[in-house]
Amino acid sequence: MKIAIPGIKGSFHHIAATKFFGEKISINACKSFEKVAELLTNNFVDAAVLAIENSVKGAVLSNYFLIDTNNLSIHGEIYLHETYHFMALKGQRIKDIKEVWSHPESFRHCEKFLRKHPHIKIVEQKGSSIAANMINEKRIKGVAAIANKKTAEIYDLEILEKEIQTHISNTTRYFILKKNRHHHQEDYLNNKASLKLITENKIGNLAEILTILSKYNLNLSKIQSIPIIKKSWAYAIFIDLVFDDYNEYCQALLAIEKKVKELKILGEYPQNKIIFNHDNDTETT
């Protein structure tokens, strides 16, 4: 399969893709989230992987927008416990490092460590794996990267300090995306759905929807509001539902549809309770 991801080999997106699809996939590395959506929309790849939320930093709002506007379909999810390491060319020590390169998001996850080393200049790059690759290819001394263990292995860098992230329990949820949503006989085996709602502009409309969810035994596992472009102070609501009975879920959709301006199914898929730890290949639930 051809899988589009933002970033290059060694990135967290790459790890998430291999955890979901297996190692025998062809990775199409993209420079942006938008390029990932473009390749999938134009049938250049079979599927894509995009981060949608982080347990520390919250939702990736731009990716909700990309999924919605490009009419992409969510076919699955994967959770990845992410750790960050401080790495450089072999033989160096932290005292030798004058600059650190990485993606801005990596720096935000490692603020506490960086404050302990104020002498090290922070230089933003387009990706953590990209930074590591540049250091390796050009044999740059005095410069470190912040990235994951897989990146250090791929680009032959030495980890000078392990697990430098501020929050130990740092987990990212990724969506597995395809271009179209197809109906299958096995749909009834799905127990999770992602929806987009635009509510009516009246008091209690959202409360009515929540009442319907309760009536049909649906668990609201996430709710996220996103601004509607070109409509000031208007918002779309994105929700994730978990359910045991697919028929009850369908009945709930019919009831909700009568209460809102718009109801869009972004995807139906099996709930994934496994959290993968990419450093040691362990799994937790």
Q: Work out the number of other CB atoms within 10 angstroms of the CB of residue 215.
A: 12
Block mean pLDDT (10 aa), the chain, length 285: 95 95 95 96 97 95 95 96 96 96 96 96 96 97 97 97 94 95 76 95 92 96 91 90 96 96 96 84 66
Domain 85-161 carries which CATH code? 3.40.190.10
- Of the candidates 80, 71, 79, 46, which has an alpha carbon nearest to the alpha carbon of residue 267? 71
Tokens 């992602």 — which residue? 194
Q: Considering all CA atoms of the chain, what is the largest pairwise distance in Å, rounded to the nearest integer? A: 66
The per-residue pLDDT for 17 is 96
Q: How far is CA 51 from CA 152, 184, 233, in A?
A: 21, 26, 26
CA atoms of 212 and 214, how far apart (whole Å): 5
The per-residue pLDDT for 285 is 62
The per-residue pLDDT for 185 is 67
The per-residue pLDDT for 180 is 81
- Domain ranges for the chain, please list them: 2-81+170-180, 85-161, 189-269
Count how many Cα atoms sit within 13 Å of the Cα of residue 136 in the half-sphere of its side chain.
Answer: 16
Vertex 65 angle, CA 61 and 68, to 5°: 140
Domain 2-81+170-180 carries which CATH code? 3.40.190.10
Domain 189-269 carries which CATH code? 3.30.70.260
Contact between 220 and 210 under an 8 Å Cβ cutoff? The reply is: yes
What is the pTM for the complete model shown?
Answer: 0.92
CA atoms of 67 and 52, how far apart (whole Å): 10
The per-residue pLDDT for 182 is 72
Q: Work out the number of other CB atoms within 10 angstroms of the CB of residue 15.
A: 24
Same fold, 2-81+170-180 and 85-161: yes
CA atoms of 268 and 278, how far apart (whole Å): 26
Question: If DSSP codes are grouped into helix, strand and coil, which group holds residue 150?
Answer: helix
